[in-house]
Structure formats: C-alpha cells, structure tokens
Amino acid sequence: MTNPIAIYVDADACPVKPETYKVAERHRLHVFVVANSFMVVPREPWIERVIVSDGFDAADDWIAERVARGAIVITSDIPLADRCIKAGADVIGPTGKPFTEASIGMALATRDMMEDLRAMGTAGGGPKPFSARDRSAFLQALDVAIQRLKRAGFG
C-alpha cells in the first residue's frame, strides 16, 4: 500500500487551478483548494474546497499545518513555500518554478529586498503577466513532482 499524494492549492490568486485539476484527475490525486472566500470548484469527489477565515495568513496556516512528505503545494507565496518545504512537501509556483531547500533562502531574501525597495518607492509594479509558457512550465513541473513522489513510494 502506498501513501497517497495530495495536492494543496493556495487558491485565492492561483492562475493554474484548472490545469491542477486535469493533472490530478489523470493521476487520481486528491486536491485541497484552500481560500479565504467562496470559490467555485468542479464537483468531483477528489476535489475538496476549504474555506478558511479571512484572518491574516489563515489559508497559509491551514495548508502548512497539514502538509508533509508526499504533499505537493501550489503557491506563489514565498513564506508559505518555506514553511511547506520545512514540513517535507514539494512546492511549485504557478509559473512552474519549484521551490526547494536550495532555492528558498534566495527567494525569501529577494522578496524581502523587493518589499523594502517598494516601501522606499524605488521599485514598482508586480510580477510579469502570466503567459502560456508559464502554464506549460507549471504542467511539466507538476508532472515531474508527481512522478518523483510515485517513484519514492507515494501514490
């Protein structure tokens, strides 16, 4: 018997929910769609909508408290990614960029630096627009993570 793979989606601003559902269906994986407010999700027994309070970081806390090795987290939230990596989960950004133990320190430092620059008024804007290339990279990264976990005895 293998340990099940579960996918946790930090859903409030996630542009790849439909892609996540398709991949999860193909691999028969359970998906938790976690948000601060009601969100329409497909009516499938393997997709679970989780609505948390609108408290600061409530969705992040819900996800981080439940993940472990064998979980895949979809998020662009770098502090949440850090917490999930520390819990043993695989973490993928919507652009397909995996967050790892090796990369999370630099990601946190860059995030903090950009936050400081924005506060001083020397940096503006946000992330670049989401592209078809990002979507394709995400699908590939998600499939790679699932295959790696299956080889490690999860399923």
91-144, pLDDT tens digit by residue? 999 999 999 977 776 776 666 676 766 677 776 666 678 899 999 999 999 999
Q: CB count, 10 Å around CB of 135?
A: 17
More confident residue, 18 or 54: 18
| pLDDT on residue 129 | 86
Q: CB count, 10 Å around CB of 123?
A: 12
Mean pLDDT of 24-32: 97
Mean pLDDT of 63-81: 95
pTM of the model: 0.88
Q: Which residues, 6 or more positions from 9, have their beta carbon under 8 angstroms from its beta carbon?
A: 17, 20, 31, 32, 33, 34, 73, 74, 75
Q: Which of 58, 66, 78, 74 is nearest to 137 (CA)?
A: 74
From CA 124, how far away is CA 143, in angstroms rounded? 34
Q: Is residue 1 part of a domain?
A: no
Q: Is residue 96 part of a domain?
A: yes
Q: Is residue 12 part of a domain?
A: yes
| Range(s) of the domain holding residue 63 | 6-151
Mean pLDDT of 77-98: 95
Q: Is residue 51 part of a domain?
A: yes
Q: Is residue 121 part of a domain?
A: yes
| pLDDT on residue 99 | 92
Q: Which strand (E) or helix (H) includes residue 150? A: helix 132-151
From CA 101, how far away is CA 129, in angstroms rounded? 26
Tokens of 43: 């009516």
The confidence band for 1, taking pLDDT boundaries of 50, 70 and 90, is very low
Q: Is residue 115 part of a domain?
A: yes
Structural domains of the chain, count: 1
The CA dihedral of 14, 18, 19, 22, to the nearest 10 degrees, is 140
Q: What is the maximum span of the chain, computed from C-alpha positions, in angstroms? A: 55
| pLDDT on residue 101 | 79
| pLDDT on residue 109 | 65
| pLDDT on residue 24 | 97
Q: Is residue 137 part of a domain?
A: yes
From CA 17, how far away is CA 126, in angstroms rounded? 21
| pLDDT on residue 73 | 98
Q: Which of 152, 147, 115 is nearest to 29 (CA)?
A: 147
How much is the mean pLDDT over the chain? Answer: 90
Please report, for the domain that includes residue 35, its CATH number.
3.40.50
Answer whether residue 7 shows pLDDT above 90.
yes
